[in-house]
Structure 1
Amino acid sequence: MSAPNCRLCGAELAHTFVDLGMSPPCESYLTADQLDSAEVFYPLHVRICDRCLLVQLPAYIDAGEIFSHYAYFSSYSDSWVAHAKTFVEDAVDRLSLGEDSFIVEVASNDGYLLQHVVERGIRALGIEPAANVAEAAVAKGIPTEVAFLGEATGRDAAARHGAADLVVANNVFAHVPDIVDFARGLRRLVAGDGTVTIEIPHLMRLIEGNEYDTIYHEHYSYLSLLTTQRVLAEAGLVVVDVEELPTHGGSLRTWSVPADRARPPSDAVAAVLDAEAAAGLHSLEGHAGFADAVARVRDDLVEFLVGCSRRGETVVAYGAPGKGNTLLNHCGVRADQVAFAVDRNPFKQGRFLPGTHIPVLPPERLADARPDYVLIMPWNLRDEISAQLHPVRSWGGRLVVALPRLEVF
């Protein structure tokens, strides 16, 4: 069987970054009448290109199948909405945007970010591929078009609405199989004197923190600043500044402009590139060893759950994020080890996690069950969720995270 080819440079992908075996699509939550039907599992075999160093998952599942009807609604995370509001405030000040400006967000979800733009009286447009999620944004009064971004759709949107002063792409750059076409779509959307901002989970932090649950089929690429620069360069965009963010276990926010007006990059760009080089990410050899760290995380969680089972202690999960399904399936967890999960998203309530068939219930069920342990699945929101789960301590329950290492607190 021939190896797949790199989505950036076209080279054959002959090197493995990590192989997590087979897993179902992480957002394919099941209804009760689907539990006795066959589920399709796909490989989670992540490769690295030895030519351009892009870490990537082959497109085992078509993006249209994943994103046309989506289970993730950004507004259910209070901290994420607050993060978006702070970004809008800072970007408006930094770029001197006002009522005559135009902001476009790609993968705008349910309007979690653009609602803050509209509140300021700035013209906004969302481009969102999931029709069910886009409906929620439109209900908030946010103009939203249902489309997958590429060069053609970016050109069309700009022709109808005008070029944007700011184009925002938060946590979507990794979600597109044709990342170069997507980058060219960003360039088509932005004005000649405009700015493109992109937020991406930082590959360097993923490796440092053993954050392997962020590997799933809708994440096609795992990006460093170096590889982000290389992709954007294919679209005529130049990274002129970068910020390091704590979100999603450690992210980057890049600020890019069209190449013909790019100024020299900031010192922050050089600093991040130097840190990546020191961590080995600018060489193929520097990416080795991640698979061993992943195996340790798996073993620790399995040993903890087996111990709880032998002692007759109950474990439930808080949150049913897609990345949690990567962790649970890789560890072979089932409902006899984690009795149920709770989630604030009503779309997920009453359904079952893919692969593991763990039921998803409303958060109120925690107090009824009074479990011994609550496993926090969105570990990147640990502080926010720990505060929400303060009542668990009243019955002697304890909280657990599996990543970046197993911790009971």
Structure 2
Amino acid sequence: MYAKSCRICSHKPLTQILKLGKIPLVNYFPVAKELSIKTKRYPLNFCLCEHCGLAQLDYVIPPRTLFKTYHYLTSASNSLIDHFHELASECVRRHFLKWGDKALDVGANDGTLLFEFQKRGIKTLGVDPSRNAVAVAQKRGIKIIPAFFGEKTAERIRARRGTFHVITGNNVFAHVADIKSFLKGVKILLEPNGVFIAEFAHVLEIIVKNQFDVIYHEHVSYFSLIALMKLFNMFNFEIFDAKKILTQGGSLRIYVRNKRKGEVSLNLKDLIREEEENHITEVTTLKRFSEEVHQFREDFCELIFKIKKKKKKIVGFGAPAKGVTLLSFCGIGASEIDYIVDSTFLKQGRFFPGIHVPVYAEEKLATDPCDYLILLAWNFQEEILNKIQPLREKGVKVIIPFPKLRVV
């Protein structure tokens, strides 16, 4: 359904910046018998609230539709396993957590971060609506409640488990349509001196690096620190630190506490200044971004069609959500891509959303070779390029779409 007003400040109307067409659910991979059913598609429009500066979608798919069948697993990426190892270590190093303390991970997926906390003597609990991911976590002995997080869920958790010293929300904060209920839940469950840590794709990186494929229906908000300062202030929270991280091609990690006297970090001040200098909450800046996205589509399609004209075989590497936006917006499908490989076992033996190209395990490349690989999971390019080095030595070329379109 279409949002009538901004999800932070309730201002209306929203200013439409970029129309990416209609795309399917990015994490629903149909099986063969479902291919005859017409794929449902939803409008994907990137908008701006000119009042508070929040970039957001104007069409929101109900969460129960989005996450009913979810084929993403954190543990499929070695880079993300390392990333959460670092986050857990940092929480202990910065004295946010000590042995015996309690941590809650919202959007816990398969429990990768919670497992890292447990190794450090932390008592853990997770919340996640994806039953597929929760089932994987439970097999590892990690307790995750299969539910959407908000005020009501938080009240139930507090009644049974009390409050938590650290609450994390990694690549989930931007997924929440009712962001106010989410923060009310954090308020209910966070210890008075506790810390809420969230990670999300930074709208500055999306705009400056033209990374429009990060835009899809699961990400209803595209946060800047400028907009977030206003949001957290409504709940008597404050961001006291922030830093850039490498996930999702360029993300932010923010550290939030209940308001109190105390300094905020110089790093936070520098990041806010960088946002202001790049004018990322202004319509003119975002309109330029829209123009660059359309230019990318021309360049990308020209490259793919030129390769196909030479009768070369193209395969996709990785089946991430961002790949659905990229291929749908550019009109690239089964005529151009023979198949896709992905390390997530839940996606293998199924078909890529919208274009219905088959998804296989990575071993398929050894038995059914190709001439070109498109790095759909380009945000893991270092990990993937190392993995496919033997193929490159045999002459396979790699198309890397972002942050700058190139062939290596």
Shorter-chain TM-score: what band?
over 0.9
Identity %: 33
Matched, 1:303 2:308: no
Report Cα offsets for 1:138-160 as digits up to 9, x if no partner.
Answer: 21121211111112211221221
Q: Which moved more, 1:61-70 or 1:197-206?
A: 61-70
Aligned to 2:12: 12
How far the C-alpha of 1:127 sits from its partner, in A, is: 1.0
How far off is 1:322 after superposition? Answer: 0.9
Shift in Å at residue 283 of structure 1? 3.4
Listed as ranges, the matches of 1:108-127 within 5 Å are 108-127=108-127
The gaps in structure 1 that reach 5 residues or longer are: none
Specify whether residues 32 and 3 from structure 1 end up closer, same or farther in structure 2 by C-alpha distance, changes over 3 A only: closer
CA contact (8 A) 2:240 2:265 kept: yes
**Equivalence for 2:332:** 333
Aligned counterparts of 1:141 and 1:326: Cα–Cα separation in 2 = 35
In the other structure, the counterpart of 2:235 is 235
TM-aligned CA deviation for residue 2 of structure 1: 9.1
Question: Secondary structure at 2:112's aligned position in 1?
Answer: coil
Runs of 4+ aligned residues of structure 1 deviating over 4 Å after TM superposition are none
For residues 337 and 107 of structure 1, the distance between their equivalents in structure 2, rounded to whole angstroms, comes to 35
Code of the residue aligned with 1:86 in structure 2: it is E
CA contact (8 A) 2:207 2:280 kept: no
Match of 2:215 in 1: 215
| Structure 2 residues not aligned, in runs of 5+ | none
Q: Give the aligned partner of residue 187 of structure 1.
A: 187
**Deviations 1:205-263, CA, capped at 9 Å, x for gaps:** 0111111111111110001111122222222211011111122111111111012x352
Q: Distance in 2 between matches of 1:191 and 1:262?
A: 17
TM-score (norm 2): 0.97
Letter in 2 for 1:68: K
TM-score (norm 1): 0.96
Query: Once superposed, what is the RMSD of the aligned Cα atoms?
Result: 1.6
Match of 1:56 in 2: 56
Whether the aligned pair in 1 keeps the contact of 2:17 and 2:46 (CA below 8 Å) is yes
What secondary structure, in the 3-state scheme, does the structure 2 residue paired with 1:105 have?
strand
Give the aligned partner of residue 288 of structure 2.
Answer: 289
- Greater mean alpha carbon deviation, residues 278-287 or residues 215-224: 278-287
Matched residue, 2:318? 319
Contact persistence 2:96–2:165 (CA under 8 A): no
Tell whether 2:278 aligns with 1:272: no
For residue 61 of structure 2, what is the amino acid of its counterpart? I
- Is the Cα contact below 8 Å between 2:19 and 2:44 reproduced in 1? yes
CA distance in 1 between partners of 2:91 and 2:2 (Å) = 46
Q: Which residue of 1 aligns with 2:71?
A: 71
- Contact kept, 8 Å, 2:60 with 2:177, in 1: the verdict is no
Contact 2:45–2:59 (CA<8 Å) still a contact in 1? Answer: no
Alignment of 1:346 onto 2:342: no
How far, CA to CA, are the matches of 2:180 and 2:286 in structure 1? Answer: 23
Aligned counterpart, 1:382: 381
Indicate conservation of the 8 Å contact 1:297/1:402, yes or no.
Answer: no
Cα pair 2:243 2:254 within 8 Å, conserved: yes
Give the CA deviation at 1:355.
Answer: 1.3
Alpha-carbon deviation of 1:50? Answer: 1.2
Whole-angstrom distance in 2 between the partners of 1:67 and 1:401: 29
Aligned length: 408
Call closer, same or farther: CA 1:112–1:3 in 2, change over 3 Å: closer
